[in-house]
Amino acid sequence: MKNAGLQGGGIGFMVQAAFLFAVMSLLVKLAGARLPTMQIVFARGVITMAIAAAMLWYHRVSPLGGRLPLLLLRGTIGSCAMVCFYAAVVHLPLAEATVIHQTAPLFTALLAAAWLRERLTAAVVIGLLGAFGGVVMIARPAALFGADAAAASLPWQFAFVALLGAILSAVAYVTVRRLGRTENPLVVVFWFPVVTVPLTAPFALPVWVAPDRGEWLLLLGIGATTQLAQLLLTKALARETAGRATAVGYLQVAFATVFGAVAFQAWPEAWSWAGMATIVGSLLLATRWRRTAAGG
C-alpha cells in the first residue's frame, strides 16, 4: 500500500509539472520574439538560482549535496538540453517543439535500463523507432520529401535540435532519478542553475538585448514556473521509475497545442498532426506495454 501511494503521488506531481512546463514554453516563445535564446536561458538560470537559494535557506537545507560530481553532470547536461529546447520553441510552432521534446521518456527508459537496471521492453525500442518517424514527418527534410514539401515545411534543423534536447533531457532525467535516492530535491534543483549561469554567461552577455517591462515579466515568469515545475519533476522521479514518470509528460503536448492555437492562432498542419500522432501513439503504446509487462 505504501508503494502504491508513492506511485500515485509521483504521477500527480508529473501532471502538474507537465502543465507548468507548457506554460513556461509559451512564455519562452513570447520572450524569444525579440530576446536571444541564450539570454533567455541565462536569465532563467539567474532567477531560478535565486529562488532555489531562498528555498534552501527557508527550509534550512545545506546546498552541499553528497554527490557533487553527479550534481554537476545533471546541471551540465540539463543546461545543454534546455538550450536545445528553447531554441526549438523559438523557431518551431509550440506544439511541434513540445511533442518532439516529449520523446525524452523513450530515451529515458533506454538509459534507465542501462544505468539503473530498470527493465527494458521491446515496446520501448519500437516506440523509439515510431517516435523518430514522427519527428521526420514534422521536419519533412527535402532529402526525403522533395523540394516542394521542404518549401512548405518547418525549419527542419530545429526539429532535430529539439530531438537532441530530448536525448539530453533523458540523460538528465536518469541522473535525477539516481540523485533522488539520496539527495534532497531542493539540492538537486538548486545545482541546475548553479551550473547553467556560468555555462551560458559567455554566450548570453555579448548578445544581450535590454528587456522592456513586459519582457522582464516574461523572464520572471519563465524562472518561477520552471522552478516549481523542476521541483515537482524531481519529486515525481524520486517516487516513480524514470521511464514511467516522464511518460506522463506527453500531457504537455495537449497543453502546448491549445496554448499555441490561442496565443498564436497556430494549428499544426496535416504532416505535423500525423507526426505528433505518431509520437504520442508511440509513447502511449510503450507506456501501456511497459505497464502490462510489469503486471499493471
Report the mean per-residue pLDDT for the chain: 81
Q: How far apart are CA 150 and CA 133, in angstroms?
A: 16
Rounded Cα distance, 164 and 101, in Å? 9
Say whether pLDDT at 32 is over 90. yes
Residue 150's contacts (CB-CB under 8 Å, 6 or more residues apart) are 140, 141, 142, 156
Q: pLDDT of 221-235, one tens digit each? A: 998 998 888 778 777
End-to-end Cα, the chain, rounded Å: 14
- pTM of the full structure: 0.79
Give dist(CA 150, CA 211) in Å, integer.
Answer: 35
Residue at 138: amino acid letter: I
So what's the pLDDT on residue 210?
Answer: 94
Cα(178)–Cα(85) distance, integer angstroms: 23
pLDDT, tens only, 46-79: 998 998 899 899 999 888 877 888 899 999 999 9
Backbone φ, ψ for residue 181 (5° rounding)? -75, -25
Query: What are 186's three cell numbers?
Result: 531542493
pLDDT mean over 145-156: 60
Q: How far apart are CA 87 and CA 158, in angstroms?
A: 7
Separation CA 124–CA 8 (nearest Å) = 22
Largest CA distance in the chain: 60
Query: d(Cα 75, Cα 191) in Å, to the nearest integer?
Result: 6
Angle at alpha carbon of residue 111, lines to 109 and 114, rounded to 5°: 110
Q: Which pLDDT does position 215 carry in this prediction? A: 95
